[in-house]
Amino acid sequence: MAEPPAHQQTLRSRFAAILFADVSGSTRLYEAIGDTLGLRTIRGYVEMMRKATEAQGGRVVKTIGDEVMTVFSSADAAARAAIAMQMGAEQLPAPAGAPEGTHLKLRIGFHGGPVLQKEDDVFGDTVNLAARLAGQAQGGQIILSRATAEALGPELKAMARDLYGVQVKGKSEEVALSELVWKTDEDVTVLASLRASRPQAKASVLRLVYGGREIRRRRDNDAEVLGRDPECGVPVKDEMASRRHCTIERRKDKWVLKDHSTNGTYVTIEGDGELLLRREETVLRRHGWIACGQSRAGTAEVVEFFIDE
């Protein structure tokens, strides 16, 4: 019996773990070394990610520029592939001809759940959420849904720590996130044999510098509001800023910025590209800058932040 035309083929439902990974800093790389060398470098990263995927029994569904979408039969396989990708990115040589200090890192997000498959492609809510999680990650991070983290095997589950919740289009409740901590610091890689019980991280201190003054926050219930309203903790003198533009609050061992504004909040982590938040959240790390309502390049009213650990 002949196979029905493609438009009549039925989508097949199954469980899968979907992982998205992209190269952070690729735009600046192309600007620094040109299209030819930049493309060669990015292809090296994509090939490394493909090998890491296949080593865990996964498959690359598609590549779009510096981003790959991969599918696995289990959350554990996706987690191990994500760790291998981050380790592989660290081991790749610095791009030829790039300025000293140029860093390329991976932003990875994954989520497990039901997907619809048609031929070699997959669709559905699980795919959309996995893509959103990758967008939440900073360079060098692995973000997954808390539900997926709970489904990991004991060794990998021990490497996950709870983060915060985000609003996702089409869902009435926030989606809780976790981070797969594949490194304990800048030099030591976390092994899968890490024990389930880890010491509590030392409380970090948030420092905000703006308009000649510095604000420090360290307690669990500390929060700070940035905005055009003079009553805000950090009143920002920018006509593009909303009256109560964004909030920075402590959640466990992380400082989370949440945008409430009309024009969005522009966040730059030192070493990464600028991130635009629109009613979204992100974790602040180390050192960077916050611009309210317009890009940092277009305004002098920029709040500098430091996370002292």
> In the structure encoding, which two tokens stand for residue 197, read together?
């019980």
Residue 247 vs residues 20, 32, 74, 123, 295: alpha-carbon distances, Å: 28, 35, 36, 34, 18
- Do 160 and 209 have their domain in common? no
- Do 171 and 256 have their domain in common? no
**pLDDT at residue 108 in the model:** 93
**pLDDT at residue 184 in the model:** 56
pLDDT tens for 226-269 read 999 888 889 999 999 999 898 998 877 788 898 989 899 999 99
**pLDDT at residue 217 in the model:** 84
Name every residue whose Cβ is closer than 8 Å to that of residue 292 and which is 6 or more positions away in sequence. 226, 227, 228, 236, 238, 240, 241, 242, 245, 246, 261, 263, 265, 266, 301, 303
Calculated CA dihedral for residues 149, 155, 161, 166, nearest 10 degrees: -10
Query: 192 vs 280, which has greater pLDDT?
Result: 280
In a domain, 1, yes or no: no
> In the structure encoding, which two tokens stand for residue 264, read together?
């969005």
In a domain, 240, yes or no: yes
> In the structure encoding, which two tokens stand for residue 87, read together?
């380790």
- Do 94 and 144 have their domain in common? yes
Give the CATH number of the domain where residue 143 resides.
3.30.70.1230
pLDDT tens for 168-209 read 666 667 788 888 888 754 444 443 333 333 344 456 889 999
In a domain, 4, yes or no: no
pLDDT tens for 81-128 read 999 999 988 887 776 666 665 677 889 999 998 888 877 788 888 898
Least confident piece of the model among 28-42, 208-222, 239-253, 279-293: 28-42
> Where in the sequence is the domain holding 226, given as residue range(s)?
205-308
In a domain, 188, yes or no: no
- Do 146 and 48 have their domain in common? yes
In a domain, 3, yes or no: no
In a domain, 141, yes or no: yes
**Average of per-residue pLDDT across 34-58:** 84
The backbone region for 131, taken as left when phi is positive above 0, alpha when psi lies in -120 to 50, beta otherwise, is alpha
**Average of per-residue pLDDT across 43-66:** 89
- Do 17 and 157 have their domain in common? yes
Number of compact structural domains in the chain: 2
**pLDDT at residue 234 in the model:** 92
**pLDDT at residue 296 in the model:** 93
**pLDDT at residue 25 in the model:** 67
**pLDDT at residue 153 in the model:** 87
**Average of per-residue pLDDT across 69-84:** 92
